[in-house]
Chains A and B, each alone.
Chain A
Amino acid sequence: MKATRDAYGEALLELGEKNKEVMVLDADLSKSTKSAKFAEHYPSRFFNMGISEADMIGTAAGLATAGKIPFASTFAVFAVGRVYDQIRNSVAYPRLNVKIAGSHGGITVGEDGASHQGLEDLALARVLPNMVVICPADGGEAYRATLEAAKWEGPVYLRLGRPKVPEVIPADTSFKIGKGMELNQGEDLTLVSTGFMTGIALEAVEELVREGVRARVVHLHTLKPLDEELIIKAAKETGLLVTLEEHSIIGGLGSAVAEVVSENSPAVVRRLGMPDCFGESGSPEELLDKYGLSVEKVSKKVKQLAGEVKHA
């Protein structure tokens, strides 16, 4: 069990040692985003920008123009939405080599409530030209994703989470930006998931097997560029895709998958995620359950959808 933000902090340490061009910025949240470890080890390459996210993004852009590889870290809710125009005009448009890490993504922020639960960041980042959008499933993948983001030439948004999550992606899996993965076989339907919801999907699959439903899990750690081939294959082979994300069902993974399927290989797509509403305070477990994203709720819903589609 490891939080993806912890893995991010560890990967930054490795990057700090290997590449002197890597710089890290934070907006007074370094203890939470886990960039503080980098600050401790490489103080001359860490800049705390205070509570000023817009300035942080602009400063990162300036560093990138001079050949640096800046990682700007803050909460997901601030990392994209609050500074959207700065990212659009100072980073994405000039295609600068800026990495933006949004920790505390999604509803599992928990008790802090709606103001701090980034549920729109993937949608906002995805619509920007030149932007790569990554949402790793577990600590190991977040570590590999951070290293790959540093190698990628251009802007990257890396979405991380607050809670500790189980390791579900085999540790020896190589991370390739834009390349999704089939985590098991299954012909009845496909669960297409991103972020830590992939762990939920895998657990739900076990429940479903007991009910006689064989579900495939396609994990998409990269929302952009999207692995369209893998989605089309799943659409053709299973006919029903259920998307799972800790994000609004509008504009994120669900929308991305629906776009690909509707244009390439029509199949039934159902989106599970946050409905069109803000979150609220509660424990991560309570919130996942309330909004239908717990293992139990997901498997129940998927079984129902499988039945409906079969009889339609």
Chain B
Amino acid sequence: MLTSQEQEHLQQVAREIRKNIMIMLNRAGSGHPGGSLSLVEILTALYFHVINVDPHHPAWEKRDRLVLSKGHAAPVLYGVLAKKGFFPAEELYNLRKLGSILQGHPDMKLVPGVEISTGSLGQGLSVANGMALAARTDGADWRTYAVLGDGEIQEGQIWEAAMTSAHYRLGNLTAFLDYNSMQIDGRIEEVMSPLPVAEKWKAFGWEVIEIEGHDYNAIIDAVEKSRRDTERPTMIIAATVKGKGISFMEEQVDWHGKAPSAEELEQGLKDLGYQQKEEVT
């Protein structure tokens, strides 16, 4: 359990990251707010309470690794990495701009702290398996985390990778499923149902933990539990709200891949409790 002070700190960080997501997307004029906002608590909890990284030494060999397999959620990853100190927050204004390190989808060669370039869905879990296998081969105790989208698990490669994680008993791998129930063309069960989700991962040999994905204690408890199972990979199925925290974006499919206008940004900042024009922080 987090102390109330720790919890307040995470909430404060998450609020700023949501603000930054809204501002950077408004400046960029395009991008993916819905699936970025649904991940704010998960990535905040991971980067500010769980995983071991050093912003001053991004290539430190013993760091934990995080793979954002759903690469279109780049804004939340960039927001978290900037907040963590991997690069100056002002860079967020350059999202998707010519010459920026912040490409539309994460580029590991450009952004300190990005462990693998992603964007084409379905590939990140395989990469995370490779990382986890490397750590195990070296007898290293750093851990690999992967974050998948729920629509993304329609990709066949995910299930190839799911087999691999279990086959090679990657107990040093913890994955999150951002279960916000929506993809570009509608609700996941209407577009191409991956249900039942938990049963599938269990059947593939994973430890499965189902949580509410905006609850810090639940996120952190689940990660701790996943660490105790050293023989099986863990899938934390996190029920989330797409567009979480912004009144007009919540559970709205149309906000999967669209940037807020100036007026919408203003409304969004109000929703987050900001009273005036804000800068990225």
Contact = CB atoms under 8 A, between A and B. Distances in A.
B133 A47 contact: yes
A64 B130 contact: yes
B130 A58 contact: yes
Nearest to A64: B130
B135 A55 contact: no
A63 B118 CA distance: 16
- Most chain-B CB neighbours within 10 Å: which of A62, A66, A89? A62
A205 to B, nearest CB: 45
A45 B164 contact: no
Interface residues of B, number: 35
A232 interface: no
B128 interface: yes
B190 interface: no
B123 interface: yes
Contacts, number: 111
A68 interface: yes
Contacts of B123: 54, 58, 85-86, 89-90
Contacts of B168: 47
Interface string A39-81: 0000011010110101111111111111110100000000000
A62 B129 contact: yes
B279 interface: no
B147 interface: no
A59 B157 contact: no
A145 B61 CA distance: 30
B162 to A, nearest CB: 9
B119 interface: yes
A55 B133 contact: no
A50 B163 CA distance: 10
B178 interface: no
Overall SS of chain B's interface: helix
B135 A90 contact: no
- Most chain-A CB neighbours within 10 Å: which of B117, B129, B133, B156? B133
Interface in A231-289: none
Given A54-B126, A65-B115, A90-B126, A59 B120 contact: no
Contacts of A57: 126
Contacts of B156: 54
Interface in B9-37: none
A225 interface: no
A116 interface: no
- Most chain-A CB neighbours within 10 Å: which of B67, B118, B119, B157? B157
A61 B160 contact: no
A58 B157 contact: yes
A66 B132 CA distance: 9
A307 interface: no
B134 A61 contact: no
B108 to A, nearest CB: 5
A89 B155 CA distance: 15
B133 A62 contact: yes
B119 A89 contact: yes
A47 B126 CA distance: 13
Nearest to A27: B160
B134 A58 contact: no
A59 B126 contact: yes
25 contacts: A45-B137, A49-B164, A50-B167, A54-B156, A55-B126, A55-B160, A56-B126, A58-B124, A59-B161, A60-B130, A61-B127, A62-B131, A63-B131, A63-B134, A65-B65, A66-B134, A67-B134, A70-B130, A88-B120, A89-B117, A89-B118, A90-B120, A90-B126, A90-B127, A94-B117
Given A58-B161, A61-B130, 11 more contacts: A52-B163, A54-B156, A55-B160, A58-B127, A59-B129, A59-B161, A60-B130, A65-B108, A85-B120, A85-B123, A90-B117
Interface of B: 61, 65, 67, 107-109, 115-120, 123-135, 137-138, 156-157, 160-161, 163-164, 167-168
Q: Which 10 A-B pairs have the closest CB atoms?
A: A62-B130, A58-B126, A66-B134, A55-B160, A52-B160, A62-B127, A59-B130, A89-B120, A63-B130, A94-B117
Interface of A: 23, 44-45, 47, 49-50, 52, 54-68, 70, 85-86, 88-90, 93-95
